[in-house]
A = this chain, B = another copy of it.
Amino acid sequence: MTEVAVIGVGMTRFGRYPETPVTETGRQAIVAALEDAGVRFADVQAAYVGAAGQGMTPATRVVGEVGLTGIPITTVENASASGSAAFREAYQMVASGECDVALAAGVGKMGRAMGALGADAEGAALLMAQGPLPPAGLFAMRARRRMHDLGTSIEHYAQVAVKNRRHASLNPYAQFQDEISIEEVQAARTVADPLTVLHCCPTGDGAAAAVLASRAVAERLGRSPMITVAACEMRSELYHGAGIPNGDITTLTARAAYERAGLGPEDIDLVQIHDAFSVEEIEYYESLGFAPEGEGEKLIAEGATEIGGRIPFSTDGGLLSRGHPIGPTGLAQVWETVQQLRGTASQRQVEGARVGLLHMIGAGGVCFCTVLKR
């Protein structure tokens, strides 16, 4: 396998852009990633675009805005993890030696995605199978279960939302940048008891992109620091659960990623996760190997997962505050991790960051774990 480097990243600030088509947000993110990489679009040999519910062939529509060079261009979809899937396919193309330079992009416009879900009977049935208020209802039940079993308090979950918003307040690309308090989280309107709207990620629009290249090409371009992909693993669920995978699949995928990278949790300097709901983050502290089972609460209570703490999680604000337009989210994690490993994360900088873990799950029961290192 060829060693693969991430040589450029780009993204739009996530938010509400009702008048802007995904072809335009996608174009902006791709152009930014190419400029960051110091390559021309003509150097790109394959492109994958992650998108869910964005109509027919978003990949060629988006990439076609940047250039027409005859390369393979394919849309990939794994629900919330569609951007992670695009990254993984581009990674495979470079790792296999099929390409020297590949592009991964993700685009999303949530109003439309939700409309497409609603218009589709099977998609709606899938969501309905997830709980009374899918997916918030499912995660509310998971919160209640843990509160019952382990004595987790709603304030623990609220602390996650507060921390991630604090991180987002330092990130000009985050959808929400105003700090919030535990009291504000708890006083917000209830979406699915015990979760208020501030325990839930927003819907939104946006795009993100990454340029991947073989280490040889990255060296020729003089990329420094060199950021390489130590692992890019994907797994799907082993049982018919509630439609959204839980900690078990995270455990499975993280184990595969650690094994492939030859690293363990003790080697990781920062983590980006699928914190679509506050309850998830505390579960993943454990399933990613950063806390013993049943002791995840300690990490948030002690501030260990804040920037400056022992193992910062969601340094860009996470899905909860940076935003989660579905298609681009996994690539926004790549964007943030690359900034951190380059030491260009400004006020969000994790001192001495050398290894980042990225975790994303998608409805249908899939999980991606990627390790980037400098």
* Interfacial residues, chain A to chain B (CB-CB below 8 A): 1, 21-23, 52-61, 63-64, 68-79, 85, 88-89, 92-93, 95-98, 112, 115-117, 119-123, 126-127, 234-240, 249, 252, 362-366
User: Complex formed: what's the CA distance from A240 to B67 in Å?
Assistant: 10
Most buried by B among A22, A121, A236, A362: A236
Having A54-B120, A57-B362, one finds 14 other A-B pairs with CB under 8 Å, namely A52-B57, A55-B122, A57-B79, A57-B363, A59-B364, A60-B78, A60-B366, A70-B238, A74-B89, A75-B78, A76-B76, A95-B96, A112-B120, A115-B119
Chain B residues, CB < 8 A from A68: 236-240, 365
Nearest first, the 8 A-B pairs at minimum CB distance are: A96-B96, A60-B364, A55-B123, A55-B120, A57-B364, A72-B234, A75-B77, A56-B123
Closest to A98 in B: B92
Nearest chain B CB to A169's CB is how many angstroms away?
32
User: Complex formed: what's the CA distance from A174 to B249 in Å?
Assistant: 41
Given A71-B235, A234-B72, A238-B69, are A56 and B52 neighbors across the interface (CB < 8 Å)?
yes
Closest to A60 in B: B364
Are A21 and B122 in touch, CB under 8 angstroms?
Answer: yes
CB < 8 Å neighbour of A76 from B61, B74, B121, B238: B74
Chain B residues, CB < 8 A from A54: 120, 122
User: Complex formed: what's the CA distance from A98 to B74 in Å?
Assistant: 20
Dominant SS among interface residues on chain A: mixed
Are B61 and A122 in touch, CB under 8 angstroms?
Answer: yes
Closest to A252 in B: B70
Chain B residues, CB < 8 A from A56: 52-53, 77, 79, 116-117, 120, 123, 126-127, 363-364
Given A22-B122, A56-B52, A61-B126, are A72 and B116 neighbors across the interface (CB < 8 Å)?
no
Given A74-B78, A78-B75, A96-B95, are A117 and B237 neighbors across the interface (CB < 8 Å)?
no
Identical copies in the complex: 2
- Give me 27 A-to-B residue pairs in the complex whose CB atoms sit less than 8 angstroms apart, sorted by A's number: A1-B96, A23-B122, A55-B116, A55-B117, A56-B116, A56-B120, A56-B363, A58-B122, A59-B77, A60-B365, A61-B364, A64-B236, A70-B252, A71-B235, A72-B366, A73-B78, A74-B85, A74-B89, A75-B76, A75-B77, A92-B92, A92-B93, A95-B96, A96-B96, A96-B98, A116-B119, A116-B120
Most buried by B among A70, A73, A117, A238: A70
Nearest chain B CB to A207's CB is how many angstroms away?
14
User: Complex formed: what's the CA distance from A57 to B77 in Å?
Assistant: 6
Nearest chain B CB to A255's CB is how many angstroms away?
11
Are A92 and B96 in touch, CB under 8 angstroms?
Answer: yes
Are A235 and B70 in touch, CB under 8 angstroms?
Answer: yes
Chain B residues, CB < 8 A from A89: 74, 89
Closest to A124 in B: B55
User: Complex formed: what's the CA distance from A78 to B51 in Å?
Assistant: 12
Chain B residues, CB < 8 A from A98: 92, 95-96
Are A119 and B122 in touch, CB under 8 angstroms?
Answer: no
Chain B residues, CB < 8 A from A58: 122
Chain B residues, CB < 8 A from A123: 55-56
Chain B residues, CB < 8 A from A53: 56
User: Complex formed: what's the CA distance from A122 to B123 in Å?
Assistant: 20
Chain B residues, CB < 8 A from A85: 74
Nearest chain B CB to A243's CB is how many angstroms away?
9
Given A95-B96, A122-B21, are A365 and B64 neighbors across the interface (CB < 8 Å)?
yes
User: Complex formed: what's the CA distance from A78 to B76 in Å?
Assistant: 9
